[in-house]
Amino acid sequence: MRIFTKLSAPLYFLFVFLCLKTAFSSSIHASSFSTTHLCSHEEALALLQFKTSFSINYTVPYQDYCADLFYIKPNYSKIESWKEGIDCCSWDGVSCDNVTGHVIALNLSCSFLYGTFPSNSTLFLLKNLQSLNLAFNDFRLSKIPPEISQFTRLKHLDISDSRFSSHVPGEIAHLPKLVSLNLSNYYISSDLILEITTFKNLVHNLSEVRELVLNGVNMTSVNPRFFMNLSSSLTTLRLFNCQLRENFPNSIFHFPNLKGFSLGGKGNLTIDLPSSNWSSPLQWLYLGDMDCGRRLPESIGDLKSLLSLSLSCNLEGSIPASIGNLSQLTDLSLFSNNFNRQIPSSLANLTQLTSLYLSNNQFSGLIPTSLANLTQLTSLDLFNNQFSGPIPAFIGNLRQLTSLNLYSNNLGRQIPSSLANLTQLTSLDLFNNQFSGPIPTSISNLRQLTGLYLDSNNLSGQIPSSLANLTQLSYLSLSYNLLNGTLPPWIFTLPLLESLYLNHNQLQVPNMFSALQNLEILDLSHNNLIGKIPNCLPKSLSVLNLQANYFDGNIAFGFLEGCGLRNLNLHGNQMDGLLPRSLVNCRMLEVLDVGNNNISGTFPHWLESLPHLQVLVLRSNKFHGSVQSTKESPSFPKLRVLDLSSNYFVGALPVRYIENFNAMMDPHKDGGSPKYMMVSTRANSYQYSLVVTWKGFDYELQKILTVFSSIHLSNNMFEGEIPDVIGKLNSLKGLNLSHNNLTGHIPLSLGNLTNLEWLDLSSNGLTGKIPDELVSLTQLSVLNLSNNHLVGRIPQGSQFNTFGNGSYEGNLGLCGIPLSKSCDGIGTQPSSFQEKDELWRFGWRVVVLGYGCGVVFGLLMGYLVFRTGKPKWFVSLFDGRPSQSGRKMRRARKLVQKRN
Ligand SMILES: *[C@@H]1O[C@H](CO)[C@@H](O)[C@H](O)[C@H]1NC(C)=O
Ligand SMILES: *[C@@H]1O[C@H](CO)[C@@H](O)[C@H](O)[C@H]1NC(C)=O
Ligand SMILES: *[C@@H]1O[C@H](CO)[C@@H](O)[C@H](O)[C@H]1NC(C)=O
Ligand SMILES: *[C@@H]1O[C@H](CO)[C@@H](O)[C@H](O)[C@H]1NC(C)=O
Ligand SMILES: *[C@@H]1O[C@H](CO)[C@@H](O)[C@H](O)[C@H]1NC(C)=O
Ligand SMILES: *[C@@H]1O[C@H](CO)[C@@H](O)[C@H](O)[C@H]1NC(C)=O
Ligand SMILES: *[C@@H]1O[C@H](CO)[C@@H](O)[C@H](O)[C@H]1NC(C)=O
Ligand SMILES: *[C@@H]1O[C@H](CO)[C@@H](O)[C@H](O)[C@H]1NC(C)=O
């Protein structure tokens, strides 16, 4: 699923700018050659034959990059202009020598060529080629043809991101005239490997090379010290995600002509920033996702030519005051380090700065006044630090700002009205601070705003009506505040709104949200909204969350054919009536949660055909009847969470369904690390939440891991035996069948549920022994078998050593530890176990929370760091190309604090 969405406009331009300024500064663009002479028949023929060896395929994944990077028109390939009878020198992408007529440059980047690259390609007949650019095509994992060495005059070779794979042929080193080489394999990875021998030859032979771009090329066998043998003419070296390891020699900084250097990415890479003798012409330097030796040396101030500096490499301590010497600097990124001292006042010297990114450090105290001098700033990121105090008034003087991200700090007081002077702002993010008081009406001056994020503060009062002027808004989040009053009608007239989060406030009276024709995400949960829900929904809607309000009446929506809803959450309202059958029109539906309402009717078996339904929550309603499949198979093919508890269901447990819950079988099916369930829309991503109950407590999982799977059938009137087949659902984390009329033995097959963390079979009529097989449930942290008719010895060992009396009480026939009743009839040492039991009960809550929340929150914490740590666009710095990724993921919350 695509998580990141389009880059916001200012960043985009920033990157285009960076890109123009750096990556391509010295590369020759084919189109700059003039085309006066007629090209030779042979060469025209060679090109035409080359053309026929590929198909044109516009449905390739990099089309977006092409549009952004090269302004390529959609569905246009340069090669389409290649036609017999027309001078080939005038074909798009072809450039000829204006005297000899030879084709000397070919730029087919983003031409949507699709097919295997033939090693006998007629392209190799173009002996005079000096520049070849095949970037962003799809050569379908072809090998780079060794014949490439026939281009003996080649100076510029760019075959980046064109899905060449396997080993780079040794012949690449037989291009002695090469000045620039780009083998990047970065946006679309294709496992291109550059072996040590080839690399050594390359370094040895390419005595003219000035630009070397190898991002994403697997150079695992290359020892970084070999880079030191590169030509001293080197001006540009890009090495991001090259699988390099160990220490990269810092003598790279002594290369006399080096203008740009980037290094970092996966692996174990380190570099020690030199304390003197930096390459003085250095204009840009990006080091990220690596380690660069704790301290940023004073000597950084020697790099007087620096225009752009980005270091995210575990630096700590302070930013040296000498940074103020870098008076040419326009872009400074020091995010994702551990800087914790004051920001030096010399920063005020950097008056050329247009972007300043200091996010994700440990800066504290007031926002420094030195920023007041940086009047050229267009982007300022200070998020995820510990800045406190108010937003200083001088921020209002940074009139060029288009993006101001101050979220996740301890900033407070009122939101200053001086912000209203920042009329260029397109994004204002104050999320997760301690702002209080009303939302200033003057914010309505910020007419360019497309995103306004004021969520997770203590803002109170009404939503000011003046915000209706923000007609460019596509994202508005005011959730987790103390806002009250009625929901202003203007919200439903914002023409471009795609995501609206007003959840967790005290808002009243809904309005018609059907008017918002672009709306994709609507979260009004946890408010005081009352009344009936409207009967029609915006067609564009993917997520509708009305949880925890006071809506009543029946679910009036008519879900039309083509309904795109993926998440419908009506949990915790007062709705009644039946579930509308038209829900089956929502073929994309992943989550349906109507828990805690007064909905009646029989089990909606007609939902079983929804191909993507993963979570179905009907708990605490008035459903009745038996729960049986009407179909043979497959039913609920993706279901992972089923909660039918606290209804009036009767009859046998739904064996036929259980047999078919494929998504609950085989926990490793997904592979990879756990992810959260979410939906990504044009505008944003939205993480699903879910209420789970344990022992009468509701826990709201703010995120649902895709590995989370559980069945809750408790508090119904199910009867009969627990079917053996339940043992097939071996990815289950939780199983709750308590408070029913189940009889018979506990099936031995439960011992197969090796992922089970909690199991509740309490308050039934179960008989027989507790199977010893349950000892193999090594993940089990909660067990409740109380109030049954179980007999015999309680199994011992493994997790069973941790359960207290409470797990077994109300079963008169049970004996053995931890019960005081020993199996040979003699009472033993109750007290210590009772104590333990109490402790366990305490811990047990935590564990439950632990599943319900702890584990999830644990991952959430990791995720928070991820979210706030590194903007995804960051990696694009290393390529000098703008990135598609964009808006940071927004929904991580400080919910833990808020709720506890
Ligand atoms: C076009 O490329 C896509 C993605 O690489 C591929 O799945 C599809 O089969 C290709 N289409 C044709 C007609 O070759
Ligand atoms: C041919 O190209 C060279 C450089 O590429 C340029 O200096 C020269 O003026 C051109 N000659 C003509 C006749 O266009
Ligand atoms: C290239 O070789 C293939 C067979 O390997 C052949 O079908 C094709 O005609 C050859 N193309 C040229 C231009 O020689
Ligand atoms: C890099 O290439 C080596 C072989 O040279 C291979 O073993 C390794 O798995 C590759 N690494 C990645 C991340 O593909
Ligand atoms: C990094 O190096 C450490 C120790 O040198 C080693 O334990 C670790 O496995 C390495 N990690 C990677 C990803 O190579
Ligand atoms: C700031 O700039 C001034 C002059 O432009 C210079 O004299 C001073 O040394 C600089 N300060 C620092 C700390 O770099
Ligand atoms: C910053 O701006 C203030 C007020 O305009 C000015 O007095 C000060 O000299 C400036 N500082 C630097 C380092 O430019
Ligand atoms: C905002 O702009 C107005 C008019 O230009 C000016 O008078 C006022 O001082 C500015 N406020 C701040 C806080 O910058």
Substitution site in 373, 374, 398 for ligand 7 pocket (most atoms within 8 Å of beta carbon): 373
Q: Are strands 236-240 and 260-264 parallel, antiparallel or unpaired?
A: parallel
Q: How confident is the model at residue 199 (pLDDT cuts 50, 70, 90)?
A: very high
Q: Tell the residue nearest (CA) to atom 2 of ligand 1.
A: 60
Summarised one tens digit per residue, pLDDT across range 311-366 is 999 999 999 999 999 999 999 999 989 998 889 999 999 999 999 999 999 999 99
Distance in Å, CA 341 to ligand 7 centroid: 22
Instruction: Please report which ligand is nearest the Cα atom of 290.
Output: 5
Q: Which CATH number fits domain 633-882: 3.30.360.10, 3.40.50.300, 1.10.260.40, 3.80.10.10?
A: 3.80.10.10
Q: Tell the residue nearest (CA) to atom 14 of ligand 2.
A: 98
Q: How confident is the model at residue 670 (pLDDT cuts 50, 70, 90)?
A: low
The answer to whether residue 425 scores a pLDDT higher than 60 is yes
Which pLDDT score is estimated for 890? 29
The answer to whether residue 418 scores a pLDDT higher than 80 is yes
Distance in Å, CA 54 to ligand 3 centroid: 13
Summarised one tens digit per residue, pLDDT across range 62-78 is 777 777 666 777 788 89
Give the separation between CA 151 and CA 609, rounded to whole angstroms: 59
The pLDDT of 257-267, averaged and rounded, is 89
Packing angle, helices 9-21 and 63-70, rounded to 10? 70
Cβ 66 vs Cβ 136: under 8 Å: yes
Give me the percent of the chain exceeding a pLDDT of 90.
53
DSSP secondary structure code for residue 392 in this structure: P
Summarised one tens digit per residue, pLDDT across range 801-829 is 888 888 999 998 888 888 888 877 543 33
Summarised one tens digit per residue, pLDDT across range 496-543 is 888 888 888 888 886 566 666 778 888 888 888 888 887 777 778 888
Q: 37-206 in CATH: which number? A: 3.80.10.10
Q: Tell the residue nearest (CA) to atom 10 of ligand 2.
A: 98
Cβ 701 vs Cβ 674: under 8 Å: no
Which pLDDT score is estimated for 701? 63
Q: How confident is the model at residue 694 (pLDDT cuts 50, 70, 90)?
A: low
Question: Burial of 293 by CB count in 10 Å (0-12 exposed, 13-18 middle, 19+ buried)?
Answer: middle
Distance in Å, CA 370 to ligand 7 centroid: 8
Substitution site in 120, 142, 143 for ligand 3 pocket (most atoms within 8 Å of beta carbon): 120
Ligand 3 atom at minimal distance to the Cα of residue 122: 13
Domains 37-206 and 633-882 share a fold: yes
Instruction: Please report which ligand is nearest the Cα atom of 45.
Output: 3
| CA distances for 372 relative to 349, 420, 715, angstroms | 11, 16, 63
Sequence-separated (6 or more) residues with CB below 8 Å from residue 97? 33, 37, 104, 128
pTM: 0.77
The pLDDT of 126-132, averaged and rounded, is 95
Q: Tell the residue nearest (CA) to atom 3 of ligand 8.
A: 421
Which pLDDT score is estimated for 656? 87
Ligand 7 atom at minimal distance to the Cα of residue 345: 13
Burial of 126-135, coded b for 16+ CB within 10 Å and e otherwise, reads bebbbbbbbb
Q: Are strands 678-680 and 338-339 parallel, antiparallel or unpaired?
A: unpaired
Q: Tell the residue nearest (CA) to atom 8 of ligand 3.
A: 120
Return the closest-CA partner of residue 503 out of 532, 541, 445, 543. Answer: 543
Summarised one tens digit per residue, pLDDT across range 4-60 is 222 233 323 322 233 232 333 333 333 333 344 478 889 999 999 999 999 999 887
Distance in Å, CA 227 to ligand 7 centroid: 43
In the chain, where the domains are located = 2-36, 37-206, 380-541, 633-882
Which pLDDT score is estimated for 293? 87
Which pLDDT score is estimated for 885? 27
Ligand 1-lining residues (CB < 6 angstroms): 57, 59-60, 114, 138
Q: Is 373 in the pocket of ligand 7 (CB under 6 A)?
A: yes
Ligand 4-lining residues (CB < 6 angstroms): 191, 193, 218, 220-221, 243
Q: Tell the residue nearest (CA) to atom 8 of ligand 2.
A: 98
Give the separation between CA 90 and CA 84, rounded to whole angstroms: 12
Give CATH superfamily name and number for 380-541. Ribonuclease Inhibitor (3.80.10.10)
The answer to whether residue 197 scores a pLDDT higher than 80 is yes
Give the separation between CA 688 and CA 641, rounded to whole angstroms: 13
The pLDDT of 830-856, averaged and rounded, is 29
Q: Is 859 in the pocket of ligand 7 (CB under 6 A)?
A: no
Q: Is 421 in the pocket of ligand 8 (CB under 6 A)?
A: yes
Distance in Å, CA 107 to ligand 3 centroid: 23
